[in-house]
Structure 1
Amino acid sequence: MKTKAILLESLTIEQLQQLIGTSIKNGISELHKELETKNYNEELLTREETCKFLKIDSSSLWSWTNKGKVKAYGIGARRYYKRSELLESLSLLKK
């Protein structure tokens, strides 16, 4: 039986730093690969998903769509919103 235990007493500071650095690099690499394969930015959201994503009411979404603040795409009576465009429509507020 193989365990993944690390005895910190037997490691030097440099070895510990290298171990932590390698672990972080591997984690970031895996996350980057996952984000590339899923391509979250071009994901289409339904009205309900968009409201949950923006944490708003459906009447606010309807109003913002009519005012042109957010872009909607449709097929028949269904409406979809691109996640990337929703993020782009956010604006920085001045203090």
Structure 2
Amino acid sequence: METKLIQVRDVTLEELAEAVSEKLMTKIRLYMNQADESKDHDTYLTREEAAQYLSISLGTLWSWTKKGLFKSRRLGNKIYYLKADLKNAIQTI
């Protein structure tokens, strides 16, 4: 393991603590975003939830699905959308 020497000068303890805290919060946010993305892989949304997620009407959702912009899945007589598919489609659009 490699060791490094860090010298801190002209910095108050509060400034150092603030800098460390900001860096740590950035890493935590990045980790939380990655965790959210992995959850989206298997999260199914109903038509209503998908429309709300996309901030569009049910009619628009139906129209865009029919045009092939979104992929829907049918389970029995219900229609679901995979959240990861919606995110990918939005990024493509």
Same fold (TM over 0.5): yes
Is structure 2 residue 66 aligned with structure 1 residue 66? yes
Instruction: Describe how 1:1-95 pairs up with structure 2 within 5 A.
Output: 11=13, 13-18=15-20, 20-21=21-22, 23-24=24-25, 27-28=28-29, 31=32, 34-35=35-36, 39-90=39-90, 91-92=92-93
Please give the TM-score of this superposition, normalised by the length of structure 2: 0.65
Cα deviation digits, residues 43-63 of structure 1 (max 9, x gap): 100000001001111111111
Cα 1:15–1:69 shift into 2, 3 Å:
closer
Q: C-alpha separation between the residues in 2 aligned to 1:76 and 1:35?
A: 28
| 1:1-42 residue CA offsets vs partner (Å, 9 max, x unmatched) | xxxxxxxxx726445423x25642663476257537x61233
% identical equivalent positions: 26
Question: Secondary structure of the residue that 2:80 maps to in structure 1?
Answer: strand
* In 2: Cα distance, 1:85 partner to 1:33 partner: 16
Structure 1: which 5+ runs fail to align? Answer: 1-9
Cα gap change, 1:32/1:83 in structure 2, threshold over 3 Å: closer, same or farther?
closer
Calculate the aligned-residue CA RMSD, in Å. 2.8
Q: What's the counterpart of residue 9 of structure 2?
A: none
* TM-score (structure 1 length as normaliser): 0.64
